[in-house]
Amino acid sequence: MTRIGSVAIIGGGFSGALMAINLLRHEGPQATIIERRPRIGAGIAFSTTCPDHLLNVRAANMSALPDEPEHFVRWLSARGFGATELFVSRAVYGEYLAELVDEAASRAHDRLRVVHASAMAIEPGAPMTITLDDGGRIAADAAVLALGNLPPMVPNNLDPSAVGARYAPDPWADTLAKDLTADDHVLILGTGPTMVDIVLALDSRGFRGRVTALSRRGLLPLRHGPGSAVATELKERPAAELSVLLRTVRARARAIGWRAAIDELRPFTQSMWLAASTDQRRRFLRHARPWWDIHRHRLPPAAASRLDELRSQGRLAVIAGRALSFTPSAKAVEVVWRSRGSVRDRLLSAQLVVNCMGPQSDLSHATEPLLVQLAQQGQVAPDPLGLGLVVDGQARAIGADNKPNPRLFALGPMTRGTFWEITAVPDIRVQAWNLARYMSNAYWIGGEGL
């Protein structure tokens, strides 16, 4: 193993913060977090201040520390929160993460440094050199890409410069509801979890107009059921062949309910993906992914009920179809769209169009300067299915030469092509834990603690 005495962690959201925390807990290399935002640990997901933005995982499974599964529950209890079945707000979870980072920093002395800047390039070598947007340079024995989710792609038939301020490329902007009135109409592109967040945020900020959410299939995330998942009997990994897997899941759903049938796959999902061929993965993405997503990534009951209310009030419509063109007018954007299965074009007018199509993951379309530089130099390679960059089982980046780089690693959503199930807290915390143990020469220690 390459000796690592210092690590540059590029990105200070959930993945990057956990990486630093675990390096310190394992008495590993000195760590430098490079993050342009002023707050470390929260990222986009946990920076929200909207009280209606809830975690979509129960508190009992949201400890940031895999060797201390009750850590978050104890933290909540000390602050007067109740049952472990609670879906707490993401703002509260952001406070939890910030406190973890602060505690780690207070114990770290000179072993943790935070640099508020953007990494623009990484030059290979021993040590590596990271160039920052402010002209600074940082030397490190290894670098970890903890970039989180990239911004969504702009629809092919939408020209942001023509639509101007009536197009919102960043759905998380604090000014999203500014100047909207009760007579206005908002079109949201996408019907996934981000759309849900934005609808709830608009409502929380006082918007009382109409919202239309448009996606190819018009599928909404399903809701969590009451209580914890029931005990299951699945003891071994199911077959990766899609038709066989569908039959297995449907049979189990009839026997124990669809939520439990999906949940019992969790221990096997990553190994199933790793064992699947590129063709099997491609078939899954083409035919099953939308249904997997709505069953797997569920809504807290409170959020699902609020959506139901908005739909019953006529304030939210969810439609299946695709937008064909966006033409600005004096007071709106005129959108030509076609309903799924139809050949007839329709027209709707919206005062605001919000892009909630989900994060960009195709490296060939990435505009982040760092990713562009790494790809051009062959230090990273795009996943063949457009799911991020390629890494091996130890999270080492695979370059254009098809070899793992012992000094360049990646965490979180950008490694979806290798691990698939790597976007939620329960998965990322284990990935960060394992990589920190590896870098600290502590990878022989099990998850039972230190």
In the chain, the percentage of residues whose pLDDT exceeds 70 is 96
As beta bridge partners, residue 410 has 145
Q: Is 234 exposed, middle or buried (0-12, 13-18, 19+ CB in 10 A)?
A: middle
What pLDDT was estimated at residue 447?
44
Please name the helix (run of DSSP H) or strand (run of DSSP E) that holds residue 249, with its range, or none: helix 242-256
Identify whether the C-beta of residue 138 lies closer than 8 Å to the C-beta of residue 115. yes
Sorted by where each begins, the domain ranges of the chain are 6-151+360-439, 160-222+299-355, 242-296
The pTM of the full predicted model, rounded to 2 decimals, is: 0.90
Stretch among 11-20, 43-52, 242-251, 260-269 having the lowest mean pLDDT: 43-52
The two tokens of residue 166 are 């009536």
Tell me the per-residue pLDDT of 123-146, one tens digit each, with 9 for 90 and over: 998 899 999 999 999 999 999 999
Q: Is 4 exposed, middle or buried (0-12, 13-18, 19+ CB in 10 A)?
A: buried
Superfamily of domain 160-222+299-355 in CATH is FAD/NAD(P)-binding domain (3.50.50.60)
Q: Are strands 142-145 and 210-215 parallel, antiparallel or unpaired?
A: unpaired
Average pLDDT for the chain: 90
The two tokens of residue 334 are 């005129």
Q: For the sheet with 30-34, list strands across it.
A: 112-115, 30-34, 6-10, 142-145, 404-410, 396-398
Q: For the sheet with 128-132, list strands across it.
A: 119-123, 128-132, 137-140
Cis amide bond preceding 169, omega within 30: no
What pLDDT was estimated at residue 449?
37
Give which of 367, 322, 357, 349 is closest to 166, Cα–Cα: 349
Q: Whole-angstrom Cα distance, residue 359 to residue 374?
A: 20
Q: Whole-angstrom Cα distance, residue 317 to residue 307?
A: 10
CATH class entry, domain 6-151+360-439: alpha beta
Residue 348 predicted with pLDDT over 60:
yes
Tell me the per-residue pLDDT of 65-75, one tens digit each, with 9 for 90 and over: 999 999 999 99
Tell me the per-residue pLDDT of 401-422, one tens digit each, with 9 for 90 and over: 999 999 999 999 999 999 999 8
Give which of 380, 377, 375, 389 is closest to 422, Cα–Cα: 389
Please name the helix (run of DSSP H) or strand (run of DSSP E) that holds residue 345, with its range, or none: strand 345-350
Q: Whole-angstrom Cα distance, residue 35 to residue 289?
A: 32
Contacts of 69 (CB under 8 A, 6+ apart): 61, 63
Average pLDDT of the segment spanning 271-299: 92
Residue 232 predicted with pLDDT over 80:
no
As beta bridge partners, residue 187 has 212, 353
What pLDDT was estimated at residue 445?
47
- Residue 450's pLDDT band, with cuts at 50, 70 and 90, is very low
- Residue 227's pLDDT band, with cuts at 50, 70 and 90, is low
Give which of 216, 146, 191 is closest to 391, Cα–Cα: 146
DSSP conformational letter for 29: S
Q: Residue 123, SS3?
A: strand
Domains 6-151+360-439 and 160-222+299-355 are alike in CATH topology: yes
Task: Collect contacts of 395-398 with beta carbons under 8 A, ≥24 apart.
Answer: 395/431, 395/434, 395/435, 397/145
